[in-house]
Amino acid sequence: EFSRIWIVDDANRALSGSLSDPKWLSADIEISYLGAQSSLDKMACDNKYEIAAILSGPEPQRTFLEEELCKKLARLNLKSILVQGSKSAEQIISNDNLEIIPFADAPLLSKIICSSEMMICRSGYSTIMDLAKLGGNALFVPTPGQTEQIYLAKRLQYQKLAQYQKQGKIDIEHAWSQKIDF
């Protein structure tokens, strides 16, 4: 049995909402709110990219999102980077506006996020914690079937902290024109 629970959010549960609601806990359990936690570091960077797409999640959904974003980003006249989120992928340069890299460790990922005007990424809780620490504009594309990601993306859009779109129906141009600071 536990005597203490640590919740990775603030006491208002601003980021996690009902996912971290402690009402089901017994009254004798102590609750500590730790705030947003991230292994990434905020740094001063010049804007190198207009859009950074950071992929993650289970297959085949990660690949489906990669294919959709590669097609759409390659057609835009916006300097973009796509991090495939796979150590086994090969580095590809699609065109002058789109750079594709297989993987980024924490220091490189920090640099990419801090040097980008808008992020396109999954709405997993770790990613949300990273963006809460680093700031920026976010378009969340939850993994289909991941109900907690869908809930978080919709909730953050409702709070006007980020945008939410469904995989398979991504409209980057619209998201770019409606950027919201996280």
- Over the stretch 13-41, which tens digit does the pLDDT of each residue have? 889 998 888 777 777 888 899 999 999 99
Q: Please give the pLDDT value at position 136.
A: 86
Which residues in 37-162 belong to E strands, given as ranges?
49-54, 80-83, 92-95, 98-101, 116-121, 137-140
- pTM over the 0.75 mark: yes
DSSP code, position 139? E
